[in-house]
């Protein structure tokens, strides 16, 4: 139980730090926001996508303007290459 609490605390800290860095102008892509993207991945490093059903649940919980921003970012060739699996699933869900 203590290990779970420590792990969750570390993940929350990492997500807050990532959001703070993104807000400071470091990231301009919706795909660079760990707080928004973590529900789509099974690991803290955001390398392994969740199942299609879990991805759809996370996708549907996003606001329509957030979904549009993600799809727009996935339309760029550079971002699409670095997030190919995520973008393929996002396009399947919303575009």
9-41 pLDDT, tens digit per residue, is 667 667 666 554 444 444 567 788 888 889 999
pTM assigned to the model: 0.63
Using CA atoms, how far apart are residues 56 and 3, in angstroms rounded to an integer? 29
Cβ-based neighbours of 19, under 8 Å, separated by 6 or more = 33, 34, 35
Burial of 15 (0-12, 13-18, 19+ CB in 10 A): middle
Q: CA geometry: angle at 50 spanning 43 and 40, to 5°?
A: 75
């Amino acid at each position: 139980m203590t290990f779970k609490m420590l792990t969750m605390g570390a993940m929350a800290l990492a997500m807050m730090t990532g959001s703070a860095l993104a807000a400071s102008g470091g990231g301009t892509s919706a795909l660079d926001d760990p707080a928004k993207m973590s529900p789509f991945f099974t690991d803290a490093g955001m390398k392994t996508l969740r199942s299609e059903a879990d991805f759809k649940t996370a996708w549907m919980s996003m606001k329509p303007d957030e979904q549009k921003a993600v799809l727009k970012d996935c339309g760029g060739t550079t971002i699409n290459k670095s997030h190919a699996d995520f973008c393929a699933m996002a396009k399947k869900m919303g575009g």
